[in-house]
Structure 1
């Protein structure tokens, strides 16, 4: 099993290690067999043996897991020495211990019922009740509801007929009872809610896992990145920013208690950099190619590393297969049991398709671990495959059937998804962005657009800008594009030189494209005023080719909606560049103003570290055992017909929070908020839950993947879950950091 990972000269040491461990294991068993009489509770004896064994193994594992995983020779030399070999071996032992413990746990759980009644009279025995009522049997196992798990009932019924078809079901504790079905379907395949008896046990197990320790140097990560040509741009970015990253990591560690966090195994697969993608982004990254996605990946990698988690980087399909070999190598047709080989998988849309191919039928079992980098967002009506097909919503990136919050966006533009964000690079004022400028700022206008093709139909607009400022550019000069001679093109600049130019520039000029990039925030952070292009009518997939395939109907009111809405004047001026008088008036006022550099907290490295840490610790799409953000943040609002929850929450200076839909989607909960139903109906559509005031009918959501902040209906009033947020950190509510972990 481990042969390919070991050197021959370590085999004798490994044999010795195995003998030592076997001897210790034997002593543990003998010790507890003689110390405890036969009449002692078997569950207690099991817990004592397994707990002591796990503590012993975990102590060794923690000592030997302080390296970044990877299949590379020179850059991952740790895989060849005995220390990493022991870590791999101990990880396998932990999995086996977990499997043994879970199997015994299932036997005890099912035995609680089977010992009271015979198999034929046991009401929780599925085999004796072919016409089962799943809700009733679930209650017998301790579940009050299976809401939010739409496939649970069907899977239980399938298991009732097919649980003997694979040997692994019995190996994982399935014995024909509904309780054993639910235990398996909640912990192995993530189709059902977890049994209460198991939640406490798993929480106790989690408390014993190795702890993540804050890292205060990027040197180890930079060494890994340096060995990989496709990651050179990311390495150069982090080298420029490492002082600020380290300063902010230390500041966050003082701000919050980060000592009691479980160390998680996190795989990051950068599908856009794979040769299989055909994008050639790594080859074009220094020639003006797209950088937005690489900026996100760079800052996510740094955040995960500095927060102390076990980081695994993949930039090829072969590498992805290498990391997942243990998952795909399961021969009995069932997912692997025991401690998860992975806790999280960060991936992009391209990589997601590659992952589905690699995992095949096993993909379903691991999709709850996914966090998908998705710049422009994926709305529920595109994510839900059946609904998208019904509505004829074509998109090569949709129909993934994930929980919408699993999509991580570049900006907080759709509350149905999560806001990952990025870090705005700073060079000359790393400790305080409001320090006085040391570089003289003159009437320069730096145009936003790295390809000359963006400029060619904007000459009349640039002629107006020229009246007020010298026009500079940083674009890749294309032979077939002829531009006016008054344009001073610096070519593609390094990050340092670009920020040096921004420091001496008065206005950063948008051309209308690219949409929602990081550059305007970098310019504003350097003290420039951003001239933002207004779109009237707004641009969307309905009227703009660029958005035709995007899985969203979101409408962009300008080139950069975040800068327009969350920053605004005096740093951002949004104008219609097709109206010469509006452009001239804006430029006239801009040239008379002096503004300080400004950067929202959520786009600093400290803000991103804080946000990523909260997501890693609190977002749980597998067990879903608790609601996060906490319920104390909930504010229920009633929308008017044709009004979305995004709109009604924004009107109240709040944010729609889709995580609360599960809570609101019940008649009893609606009564608590003064909503009384004369009649009740369940449907599956984007505008639910909703209320008809004419007949006081309540409509509840029957498909949790269709919970949507964006949906609306002309005849029904939406019941909207809003929440507050921390100023400058919109992804986090005001009570989100009041839990024990952050005190």
Structure 2
């Protein structure tokens, strides 16, 4: 099975691939039957797609396994591969022990880990923490590769905002109160279906599921995106900024720990806000900060989104196509140089 990144190789003349580096990619989201979470692609999928396409464009042949059986079959040809790109779940076999064929090949193993981690289980296989590849520059022990974001076209903005998140009977009460208060001032559109919540307001439109393309169009024609902290580091925030839509970044009352393993004394990666990168590296006018549960903060951000007027589409430089390709070329320099 060839990933999209290598699909064009099928048209190459005989022998054209003979001296190109080969990469074996197998992650949880590359498996058959894996579905996207919610209404927009999971961050892991975006990250894998971007990496596979970039490696292919840089000259590598990327074999993407879609089942455990296919991965094992391809791995039997391990002498042909310059690199193995896995994730925290596929790097080990069914026994949760590192795959034996990786022993002695650790320099060729890379782990796609969207959130990053402070340490990695290393019984039998010593994974270099710099080979743990993250979507954003956190934590410092890992290597930031990110993903590519296309520059959207500017669109006419409507006087409305987008709500993306959870809203059910167990949700904090402040969420419904805040959404109602915002809806009293400006229209809200949401990807929640009408039957999924008890919330009702004449100025809130429940659209239901949207494809990634439809969701992009929704952001491109709206003034702000609010999520109440549910979409931790997800691409929807970056997509909002890219489409000139103010992203309201929730600062948590207590840091949220990701990828913790207390049995090993690993407390994980602490996130103090929903999207630290956008909050710290981009900021106003594209990002407005609100403290979790504080109605006045959220209302202030909505007012700011209305005040600054329509924003131009903006892709932070590290996520532009050129910067991303250069970063992948540098990170995989040794791999791409192997035949």
1:308 aligns with 2:59: yes
CA distance in 2 between partners of 1:268 and 1:384 (Å): 20
Aligned to 2:249: 532
Aligned to 1:341: 80
Q: Of 23, 29, 35, which aligns to 1:272?
A: 29
- Does the CA-based 8 Å contact 2:194-2:206 persist in structure 1? no
CA distance in 1 between partners of 2:99 and 2:116 (Å): 25
Aligned to 1:481: 197
1:598 aligns with 2:314: yes
Aligned to 2:136: 411
Are the structure 2 counterparts of residues 400 and 483 from structure 1 closer, same or farther at C-alpha, using a change threshold of 3 Å? farther
Q: Deviations over 1:65-123 (max 9, x none)?
A: xxx869xxxx9997xxx958x98xxx8xxxxxxxxxxxxxxxxxxxxxxxxxxxxxxxx
1:422 aligns with 2:175: no
Deviation of the 1:425 alpha carbon: 4.2
Deviation of the 1:350 alpha carbon: 1.9
Aligned to 2:207: 490
Q: Of 127, 142, 146, which aligns to 1:402?
A: 127
Length-normalised TM-score, structure 1:
0.40
1:560 aligns with 2:313: no
- Does the CA-based 8 Å contact 1:532-1:558 persist in structure 2? yes
Q: How does 1:711-726 map to 2 (within 5 A)?
A: none
1:472 aligns with 2:189: yes
- Does the CA-based 8 Å contact 1:378-1:552 persist in structure 2? no
**Highest relative contact order (Cα 8 Å, sep 6+), 1 or 2?**
2
CA distance in 2 between partners of 1:573 and 1:505 (Å): 15
Q: Of 262, 265, 281, which aligns to 2:34?
A: 281
Deviation of the 1:468 alpha carbon: 2.9
Deviation of the 1:508 alpha carbon: 1.0
Deviation of the 1:577 alpha carbon: 4.1
Aligned to 1:378: 117
The SS at the match of 1:441 is coil
Are the structure 2 counterparts of residues 471 and 77 from structure 1 closer, same or farther at C-alpha, using a change threshold of 3 Å? closer
- Does the CA-based 8 Å contact 1:424-1:518 persist in structure 2? no
RMSD: 3.5
CA distance in 1 between partners of 2:24 and 2:147 (Å): 19
- Does the CA-based 8 Å contact 2:248-2:289 persist in structure 1? yes
CA distance in 1 between partners of 2:85 and 2:301 (Å): 42
Deviation of the 1:326 alpha carbon: 3.6
Q: Which structure has greater strand proportion?
A: 2
Deviation of the 1:313 alpha carbon: 1.5
Are the structure 2 counterparts of residues 309 and 593 from structure 1 closer, same or farther at C-alpha, using a change threshold of 3 Å? same
Deviation of the 1:291 alpha carbon: 1.4
Aligned to 1:351: 90
CA distance in 1 between partners of 2:34 and 2:267 (Å): 24
CA distance in 1 between partners of 2:97 and 2:261 (Å): 25
Q: Deviations over 1:308-342 (max 9, x none)?
A: 11221111111112212245xxxxxxxxxxxx421
Q: Which structure has greater helix proportion?
A: 1
CA distance in 1 between partners of 2:146 and 2:322 (Å): 12
- Does the CA-based 8 Å contact 1:356-1:363 persist in structure 2? no
Are the structure 2 counterparts of residues 494 and 288 from structure 1 closer, same or farther at C-alpha, using a change threshold of 3 Å? closer
CA distance in 2 between partners of 1:272 and 1:608 (Å): 21
Deviation of the 1:581 alpha carbon: 2.5
Q: Deviations over 1:641-678 (max 9, x none)?
A: xxxxxxxxxxxxxxxxxxxxxxxxxxxxxxxxxxxxxx
Aligned to 1:361: 100
The SS at the match of 2:180 is helix
Deviation of the 1:549 alpha carbon: 5.1
Are the structure 2 counterparts of residues 295 and 384 from structure 1 closer, same or farther at C-alpha, using a change threshold of 3 Å? closer
Are the structure 2 counterparts of residues 77 and 421 from structure 1 closer, same or farther at C-alpha, using a change threshold of 3 Å? closer
CA distance in 1 between partners of 2:95 and 2:327 (Å): 28
CA distance in 1 between partners of 2:112 and 2:64 (Å): 15
CA distance in 2 between partners of 1:554 and 1:77 (Å): 39
Q: Deviations over 1:590-614 (max 9, x none)?
A: 3111232211121122221111111
CA distance in 2 between partners of 1:454 and 1:611 (Å): 44
- Does the CA-based 8 Å contact 2:25-2:63 persist in structure 1? yes
Q: Of 489, 497, 510, which aligns to 2:227?
A: 510
The SS at the match of 2:324 is helix
Q: Deviations over 1:433-484 (max 9, x none)?
A: xxxx4x33122110122x5549943101212222332111123x38463222
CA distance in 2 between partners of 1:538 and 1:326 (Å): 44
> Where in structure 1 are there 5+ consecutive unaligned residues?
1-67, 92-209, 211-262, 328-339, 387-398, 430-436, 542-546, 621-743
Aligned residues: 326
Q: Deviations over 1:473-507 (max 9, x none)?
A: 123x3846322244212222223322222222111
> Where in structure 2 are there 5+ consecutive unaligned residues?
none
- Does the CA-based 8 Å contact 1:601-1:607 persist in structure 2? yes
Length-normalised TM-score, structure 2:
0.83
Larger Rg: 1
